[in-house]
C-alpha cells in the first residue's frame, strides 16, 4: 500500500466517528478491495462494523473475499439478515466458493438457489475439491474452441466480448479434453484457414485439478503467464487458474510458516476475541512448559553443587542461550534448505561436517571470551575453564541438533518450522546445564 | 520441484561420479534452469564444478542467473578463462545486469565490448539504477507504437515476429513518453482505422523506474498481467518488467525475513566456506552474549538468596522461558501485522489492551499450574506462590514488550524481524529473574 494511503488511513482511524466516515469517503475511491480488507482487519472488532457500513455496496463482496478467514467470519456473524441478503444477491460460483465457509449454511443455500444453472454446476464441481486442491479455485470464464478450429474461428470468437485478462484461447477435443493453448497475439498475420493446432503455445502445461496449490504456484513461477488451464484426472478442461491466486497462495504459505514458528495460526485475527486467542496460545505455552521443566530437572540434579558454587547459577543463562542461538542459526539455514528442496539425504553428511566446523570455530572463539570474563567476574580461573568447556560442547551439540532435528522431522513429515525450535532449545538447554553443572561438580567442589 | 525429479536428483547425488554424470544426463532434459541451479546449490562446493560441467552449454547462462548470489560467485570463481569466455559470448543487457556483480570486472568489460550498440545502451541505462530499484530489471524486448497509431498499424506490427510473453502493445508520444497499453486481444473485430487510444487497458499503470522493487510487487498483485511498463521520472518508457521477477522478489523478501530472525544473510550459501560462515554468525552470537550477560548480572544481584534457596536456581529457566514464549507469540503477530500494514498508531492501544488480556489469562492459568507443581516438587507452598507471582508478572511484561518493541523498532526504521526477538528475550529474562528472585528474597529468607 502506498505511504500516502497508509497515512490517510491512520488519520481515519485516529479521528472520531463522524470525521472518520467523511475521511473514509475521501480515501475510498483510491482503495482497492484488498486495501479496504486490510483497513478492516486493522480496526478493533467493535469499529469494524461501522467502517464496513461505509464500504460501497458494489465493493463489499470483493472486500470480504480479500479478508482473512477469521476476521471475515467474525464480521459476517455481525451482519443482519438484510445485509447478508444483499451481499449474496449476485454471486458467481468462484466467489461463493471463496466465501462459502464464512457464510451460514442457509445463506449458502439461498445464494445457490439464486444462481443460474451453469454457475450452480460450476459451484458443485469446484466444491468437490478440498481446500488445498487446485480444482477448487477454477475460474470458468474463458474462451474455448474445438481443436480442429482455424484462425478464422478464433478471430470470430475474439470479436465478441472477451473475459477479463484473456491472453490465450484454449483448445479441447470432441469430449472436452484439453488439447492446447494459443496465445491470441500469435493469430495476427496468420492465414484464415491455418489450423490453430499449428500455433500452440508450448510453454503452457495444464494444471491437474486434484494436485495441491503448491504445485500451481511452482508452475506459475515458470510460465510467465497470467492464467493456466486446469484439467481433471481424465483430462477434461475445467477452467483456468489466475496468477493473482498464485501470489495470494505464496503470501499465505510464508505467513503460515512465520506464524507456525510461534505456535500461531496463519488466519489469526489481530483482534481475535481474548478468550479464543488465549486458548490457542495456551497449548504452545503448555508444550513449552514441559520442556522448561525438563531443563529444571537437569539443573535439579546438581542442587548440591549449586549451593556450594552460586556463580554457576549466575552463569547458567549464558551457557544455555549461546547454545540456543548457535543452534537456531543452523536450524534456520536447514529449514530454508528443506523448504527449497536444497537438502537431500546425500547432503546431510557434508552439511553436518560444515556446521560442526562452523560451530567448533565459534565455540572456541566465544569460549575464550566468556572464560576470560567469567574468570575475572568471579576471580576464579577454574570457573572460567568450566564455562569455556561447557560453551564448546554446547555449541557443538547445537550444530549437530540444528542439522539433525529438522532433517528427522522432515522425514517424519512433521513441519520443522513448527516444532523444530522448541525441540532444539530443549536439547541445548539440557545439554548446556548438564555439561556446565557436571563439569562444575567435577572441578569446583 | 516434482517429487519424481527430486528423487532422481537424490539418487544422482548419492551415486558415485561416473554413474552421477550418466544420471544427470537422464534427468537434465526434464530440468528447468532454476531446478539445475537448486541442484548445484544442494551439492557441496567441491562437487558443484563436476556437475556444472554436465550442464549443456546453452543452458548455463540461465542456470547461473537462477543461482543465489553467493553460490554463483563461488562457482564463477572456479571457472577457467575459456569457460568464462564461452559463457559471456552472447549475453543480452538484462542477463549481464543480473550476472554483473558475480563476474570479474574485466569479464564484464569483454561482455560489453561484444554487445551490439543497442544492447550496450540498454545495459548502461539499467546499470544506473541501484539493486533495489525497478529500473535495473527492465526487459527491453517489447512492442512499441506511436500513440496516434490505429488498429491497422498494430496489426501490421503484430504480423512480424513478436517477443516472448507479449500480451500488450505499448503506446508512446512523440518524445517517447508512455501513453498507454493495449491488450492485443482487444484488437480483434475492431475497424482498421480505429485509434488505439480508444482501446486502452485501464487496468495497467506504469511502474516508476526509481521506485523500489517492493512497489513493483504490490502492483503485480493487483494487475493480473504478465508484464507491466516501466517509465523514468520524465515519463519515458524504458521497457517492461515481468511477473516472474515479481515472484522471485516475493520469495527473496520472505526468505530474507526468515533468515534475518536468526541473524543470517538471505544469500547465505548452504555450503559457504566455514571461515566466512563463522565470521558472519559470530556477530549475532556476540550480540546475544551481551544480552545473556545482562541476564546473568540480574541473577548475580541475588547471589545470597540463591545460596540459601537453591530451588530458585532450579526453577529459573521456567520463569524465563514462559515469558520468552508468550512474548514471542505476541511479537510474531505484531511483526506480521506491521509487514502487512495492519498496524497503525491508532491501533496500538487496543492491541495492547487485547494482548495484556490474553497474557493475563494465560499468565494466571499457567501460574496456577506451575505454582502447584513447584509447591509439590520442593514441598514448599511459599516457593509455589513466589513462582506463580513471577509468572504472572513476566507474562504480562512479555505481552507489553511483544507489542511495544516491534512498534518502536518500526518507527525507528529498524526491521523488527531482525532484532525484535533478541531485545524481547532480554526483557523477559531480566524481568523474570529480577521478579522471581526478588520475590524469593522477600518471602523465602
Chain B hits for A221, CB-CB cut-off 8 Å, are 34, 244, 247-248
Per-residue pLDDT band for B445 (boundaries 50, 70, 90) equals confident
For A155, the domain range is: 144-260
**CB contact (8 A) between residue A275 and residue B361:** yes
The confidence band for B1, taking pLDDT boundaries of 50, 70 and 90, is very low
Q: Is residue A112 in a domain?
A: yes
Please indicate, yes or no, whether residues A365 and A396 belong to a single structural domain of this protein: yes
Nearest CA in chain A to B336: A255
Torsional class of A224: left (φ above 0), alpha (ψ -120 to 50), beta (otherwise): left
- A330, B356 in Cβ contact below 8 A? no
Q: List Cα–Cα distances, A162 to A68, A156, B184, B270, in angstroms.
A: 31, 11, 12, 48
Read off the pLDDT of residues A367-391 as tens digits, 9 standing for 90 and up: 999 999 999 999 999 999 999 999 9
- Identify the CATH number of the domain in which residue A19 sits: 1.25.60.10
* CA B391 centroid distance within chain: 36
pLDDT the model gives residue B5 = 59
Q: Confirm whether A53 is domain-assigned.
A: yes
Tell me: do A115 and A164 sit in the same domain. Answer: no
Q: Please report, rounded to a whole number, the percentage of residues in chain A having pLDDT higher than 70.
A: 93
Domain shared by B285 and B422, yes or no: yes
If asked whether residues B217 and B283 sit together in one domain, one would say no
Q: Is B61 on the interface with A (CB under 8 A)?
A: no
C-alpha–C-alpha distance, residues B320 and A288, integer Å: 11
Contacts of A283 in chain B (CB under 8 A): none
Above pLDDT 90, what percent of chain A? 50
**A122-131, B21-30, B248-257, B306-315 — which is least confidently predicted?**
B21-30
Q: What is the CATH number of the domain that holds A197?
A: 3.10.580.10
Indicate the pTM of the whole model: 0.83
Asked if residues B129 and B209 have their Cβ atoms less than 8 Å apart, the reply is yes
pLDDT digit string (tens) for A414-424?
888 888 999 99
A137 belongs to a structural domain: no
Mean pLDDT within B8-15: 59
Give the strands of the sheet with A207-208, arranged side by side. Answer: A207-208, A227-231, A237-242
pLDDT band at B9 (very low <50, low <70, confident <90, very high): low
Whether residue A95 sits in one domain with residue A57: yes
Q: Which tens digits make up the pLDDT trace of B314-348?
A: 999 999 999 999 999 999 999 988 888 888 887 88
- Point out the domain boundary residue: A74, A96, A128: A128
Model confidence at A2: pLDDT above 60: no
Chain B: give the shortest CA distance to residue A172, in Å. Answer: 20
- The beta-carbon neighbor of A317 closest among B32, B292, B333 is B292
Dump pLDDT digits (tens) for B232-277.
999 999 999 988 888 887 788 788 888 888 888 877 888 888 988 8
Q: Pick B295's closest partner by Cβ from A289, A317, A325.
A: A317
- Selected residue of A3, A6, A42 to mutate for chain B interface (largest B Cβ count, 10 A): A42
Q: Are residues A173 and A206 in the same domain?
A: yes
* For range A168-189, the mean pLDDT: 93
pLDDT of residue B269: 85
Which one of A216, A241, A285 would you mutate to disrupt binding with B, by most B Cβ within 10 Å of its Cβ? A285
In order of A34, A35, A160, B81, B337, the CA distances from B219 in angstroms are 12, 12, 29, 42, 20
> Does residue A217 sit in the same domain as residue A352?
no
**Interatomic CA distance for residues A86 and A110, integer angstroms:** 11
Average pLDDT, chain A: 88
C-alpha cell at B147: 500513440
pLDDT number for residue B225: 83
Choose among A187, A296, A357: nearest Cβ to B314.
Answer: A296
Beta-carbon count within 10 A of A374 CB = 25
Mean pLDDT of B205-234: 88
| Axis-axis angle for helices B348-377, B381-411 (nearest 10) | 150
Interface contact flag, B218 A251, Cβ < 8 Å: no
Partner B contacted by A411 (CB < 8 A): no
Select from B260, B288, B319 the last residue of a domain: B260
Number of inter-chain CB pairs under 8 A, A vs B: 346
How many Cβ atoms sit within 10 Å of the Cβ of residue B1? 16
Q: Does B43 touch chain A (CB under 8 A)?
A: yes
> Domain total for chain A?
3
Among chain B residues, the shortest Cα distance to A278 is held by B358
Higher pLDDT: B361 or A17? It is B361
Distance CA(B51)–CA(B60), nearest Å, equals 11
Q: What is the 3-state secondary structure (H, E, C) of chain A?
A: CCHHHHHHHHHHHHCCHHHHHHHHHHHHCCCCHHHHHHHHHCCCHHHHHHHHHHCCHHHHHHHHHHCCHHHHHHHHHHCCHHHHHHHCCCCCHHHHHHHHHHCCHHHHHHHHHHCCHHHHHHHHHHHCCCCCEHHHHCECCCCEEECCCEHHHHHHHHHCCCCCCCCEEEEECCCCEEEEEEEHHHHCCCCCCCEHHHHCCCCCCCEECCCEHHHHHHHHHHHCCCEEEEECCCCEEEEEEEHHHHHHHHHHHHHHHHHHCCCCCCCCCCCCCHHHHHHHHHHHHHHHHHHHHHHHHHHHCCHHHHHHCHHHHHHHHHHHHHHHHHHHHHHHHHHHHHHHCCCCHHHHHHHHHHHHHHHHHHHHHHHHHHHHHHHHHCCCHHHHHHHHHHHHHHHHHHHHHHHHHHHHHHHCCCCHHHHHHHHHHHHHHHHHHHHHHHHHHHHHC
Residue B105, judged by CB atoms within 10 A of its CB (0-12, 13-18, 19+), counts as exposed
DSSP one-letter code for B150: B
Does residue B134 form part of some domain? no
| B138 inside domain | no
The angle subtended at Cα B89 by Cα B108 and Cα B54, nearest 5°, is 105
pLDDT: which is higher, B48 or B293: B293
Q: Do B270 and A329 touch (CB under 8 A)?
A: no
pLDDT at A8 over 90: no
Last residue of a domain, one of B260, B290, B325: B260
Instruction: Specify the pLDDT at position B22.
Output: 60
* Per-residue pLDDT tens digits for B159-211: 887 888 888 999 999 999 999 999 998 898 899 999 999 999 988 999 999 99
More confident residue, B365 or A23: B365
Which of B246, B270, B345 has its CB closest to that of A333? B270
pLDDT of A311 above 90: yes
Nearest CB to A281 within list B162, B362, B373: B362
Does B268 fall in a domain?
Answer: no
Domain co-membership, B221 together with B80 = no
**What is the DSSP code (8-state) at residue B188?**
T
What's the pLDDT tens digit per position in B55-99?
A: 888 889 989 988 888 889 889 988 888 888 888 887 888 889 888
The closest CB to that of B317, out of A162, A295, A331, belongs to A295
Nearest C-alpha neighbor of B120 from the set B142, B94, B139, B100: B94
The CA distance from B57 to the nearest CA of chain A, in Å, is 21
The answer on B420 and B342 residing in a single domain is yes
**Are B118 and B174 in the same domain?**
no
pLDDT confidence of residue A1: 45
Interface of A with B in 333-372 (CB under 8 A): 333, 335-337, 340-347, 350-351, 354, 357-358, 361-362, 365-366, 369-370
In this prediction, residue A398 has a pLDDT band, given cuts at 50, 70 and 90, of: very high
> Do B87 and B235 lie in a common domain?
no
Residue B392 has pLDDT above 90, yes or no: yes
| Closest approach of A318 to chain B, Cα-based (Å) | 5
- In angstroms, the separation between the Cα of residue A110 and the nearest Cα of chain B is 31
Q: Above 80 in pLDDT, residue A16? A: no
Q: What is the mean pLDDT of residues A394-405?
A: 96
The C-alpha atoms of residue B232 and residue A271 are separated, in whole angstroms, by 41
Inter-chain touch B358–A268, beta carbons under 8 Å: no
Residue A133 lies in a domain: no
Among candidate residues B245, B395, B268, B374, the one with its CA nearest the CA of residue A221: B245
CATH number at residue B328: 1.10.357.20
B289, A369: Cβ pair inside 8 Å?
A: yes
Cell numbers for B154: 498494430
Judging contacts by C-beta atoms under 8 Å, the chain B residues touching residue A326 are 281, 285
Same domain for A213 and A307, yes or no, is no
Does the pLDDT value for residue A364 go beyond 60? Answer: yes
The predicted structure's pLDDT at residue A431? 97
pLDDT at B16 over 70: no
Let me know if residue B137 belongs to a domain.
no
CA B108 to chain centre: 27
Predicted pLDDT of residue B24:
63
ipTM tops the 0.90 cut: no
Amino acid at each position: 500500500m502506498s505511504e500516502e494511503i497508509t497515512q490517510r488511513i491512520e488519520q481515519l482511524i485516529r479521528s472520531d466517528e463522524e470525521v472518520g466516515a467523511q475521511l473514509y469517503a475521501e480515501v475510498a475511491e483510491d482503495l482497492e478491495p484488498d486495501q479496504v480488507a486490510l483497513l478492516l482487519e486493522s480496526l478493533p472488532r467493535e469499529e469494524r462494523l461501522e467502517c464496513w457500513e461505509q464500504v460501497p455496496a458494489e465493493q463489499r463482496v470483493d472486500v470480504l473475499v480479500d479478508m482473512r478467514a477469521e476476521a471475515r467470519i467474525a464480521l459476517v456473524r455481525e451482519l443482519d439478515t438484510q445485509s447478508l441478503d444483499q451481499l449474496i444477491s449476485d454471486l458467481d460460483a468462484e466467489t461463493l466458493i471463496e466465501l462459502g465457509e464464512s457464510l451460514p449454511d442457509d445463506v449458502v443455500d439461498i445464494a445457490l438457489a439464486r444462481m443460474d444453472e451453469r454457475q450452480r454446476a460450476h459451484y458443485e464441481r469446484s466444491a468437490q475439491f478440498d481446500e488445498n486442491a487446485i480444482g477448487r479455485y477454477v475460474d470458468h470464464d474463458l474462451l474455448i474452441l474445438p481443436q480442429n478450429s482455424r484462425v478464422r474461428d478464433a478471430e470470430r470468437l475474439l470479436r465478441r466480448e472477451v473475459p477479463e485478462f484473456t491472453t490465450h484461447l484454449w483448445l479441447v477435443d470432441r469430449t472436452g479434453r484439453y488439447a492446447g493453448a494459443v496465445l491470441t497475439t500469435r493469430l495476427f498475420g496468420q492465414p484464415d484457414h491455418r489450423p490453430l493446432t499449428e500455433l500452440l503455445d508450448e510453454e503452457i502445461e495444464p494444471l491437474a485439478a486434484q494436485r495441491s496449490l503448491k504445485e500451481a504456484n511452482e508452475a506459475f513461477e515458470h510460465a510467465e503467464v497470467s492464467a493456466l488451464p486446469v484439467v481433471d484426472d481424465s483430462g477434461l478442461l475445467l477452467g483456468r487458474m489466475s496468477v493473482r491466486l498464485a501470489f495470494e497462495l505464496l503470501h499465505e504459505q510464508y505467513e503460515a510458516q512465520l506464524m507456525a514458528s510461534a505456535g500461531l495460526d496463519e488466519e489469526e485475527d489481530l483482534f481475535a476475541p481474548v478468550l479464543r486467542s488465549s486458548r490457542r496460545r495456551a497449548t504452545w505455552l503448555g508444550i513449552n512448559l514441559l520442556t522448561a521443566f525438563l531443563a529444571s530437572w537437569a539443573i535439579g540434579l546438581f542442587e548440591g553443587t549449586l549451593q556450594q558454587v552460586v556463580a554457576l547459577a549466575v552463569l547458567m543463562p549464558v551457557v544455555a542461550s549461546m547454545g540456543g542461538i548457535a543452534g537456531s542459526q543452523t536450524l534456520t539455514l536447514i529449514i530454508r534448505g528443506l523448504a527449497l528442496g536444497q537438502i537431500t539425504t546425500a547432503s546431510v553428511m557434508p552439511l553436518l561436517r560444515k556446521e560442526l566446523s562452523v560451530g567448533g570455530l565459534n565455540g572456541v572463539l566465544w569460549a575464550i571470551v566468556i572464560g576470560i570474563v567469567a574468570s575475572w567476574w568471579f576471580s576464579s580461573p577454574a570457573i572460567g575453564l568450566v564455562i569455556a568447556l561447557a560453551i564448546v560442547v554446547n555449541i557443538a551439540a547445537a550444530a549437530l541438533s540444528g542439522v539433525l532435528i529438522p532433517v528427522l522431522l522432515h522425514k517424519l513429515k512433521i513441519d520443522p518450522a513448527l516444532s523444530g525450535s522448541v525441540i532444539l532449545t530443549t536439547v541445548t538447554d539440557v545439554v548446556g546445564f548438564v555439561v556446565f553443572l557436571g563439569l562444575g561438580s567435577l572441578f569446583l567442589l
